[in-house]
């Protein structure tokens, strides 16, 4: 099993312990793993499928994160603070996911404090990815953001509808269509 957020960071024995505590579940396309306004209590690892984190603002559905095979997804604003989340987590395809409650993960870490640094490293990687996205919005044109997505995650372009891609890139569908035609 390949989980991109864990490979090369988390030692095999910790991965084994975490997987022993996880539940494998199958869900249909459009299933919400977490709903906005609730406290998120689970972390999900996508084995097969595709998911997104999104919120509504001014009547618009805005995608903020996409996760495919081997990636972690959760409502990170809520799971750490234990406050109601601004985000939904939705599956975009029929999916197989592994889930672990944050409480169970915390219990494991209290029993094995030597593993806390690895969870911190995973969170740091997630934070860095978020910081990179902020940098893209501040310094890159819409075309450059699209080209970066095509270069770094080409499988996403084929699997995610254009409306979600456009909102993920911070542009309208019309702008995305113009960019795609110009390339």
Burial class (CB in 10 A: 0-12, 13-18, 19+), 160: buried
Specify the fold of 12-138: Jelly Rolls (2.60.120)
> What is residue 48's predicted lDDT score, i.e. its pLDDT?
97
In tens digits, the chain (183 residues) has pLDDT values of 445 555 566 777 777 888 899 999 999 999 999 999 999 999 999 999 999 999 988 888 999 999 999 888 999 889 888 999 999 999 999 999 999 999 999 999 899 888 888 878 877 877 888 899 999 999 999 999 999 999 999 999 999 999 999 999 999 999 999 999 998
Contacts of 87 (CB under 8 A, 6+ apart): 34, 36, 53, 54, 55, 64, 75, 77, 78
Q: Where are the domains of the chain?
A: 12-138, 140-183
Query: Sign of dihedral through CA atoms 145, 151, 156, 162?
Result: positive
Looking at residue 118, its pLDDT comes to 80
Supply the pTM of this predicted model: 0.88
> What's residue 117's pLDDT?
85
SS (H, E, C) 3-50: CCCCCCCCCHHHHHHHHHHCEEEEECCCCEEECCCCECCEEEEEEECE
């Amino acid at each position: 099993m390949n989980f991109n957020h864990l490979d090369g960071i988390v030692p095999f024995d910790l991965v084994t312990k975490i997987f022993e505590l996880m539940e494998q579940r199958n869900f249909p396309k459009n299933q919400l793993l977490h709903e906005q306004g609730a406290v998120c209590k689970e972390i999900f690892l996508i084995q097969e499928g595709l998911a997104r984190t999104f919120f509504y603002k001014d009547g618009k559905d805005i995608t903020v994160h996409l996760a495919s095979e081997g990636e972690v997804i959760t409502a990170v604003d809520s799971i750490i603070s234990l406050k109601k989340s601004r985000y939904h987590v939705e599956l975009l395809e029929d999916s197989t996911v592994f889930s672990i409650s944050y409480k169970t993960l915390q219990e494991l870490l209290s029993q094995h404090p030597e593993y806390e640094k690895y969870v911190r490293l995973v969170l740091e990687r997630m934070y860095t990815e978020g910081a990179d996205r902020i940098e893209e919005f501040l310094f890159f044109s819409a075309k450059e953001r699209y080209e970066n997505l095509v270069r770094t995650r080409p499988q996403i372009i084929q699997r995610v509808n254009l409306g979600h891609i456009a909102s993920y890139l911070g542009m309208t569908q019309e702008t995305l269509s113009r960019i795609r035609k110009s390339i």
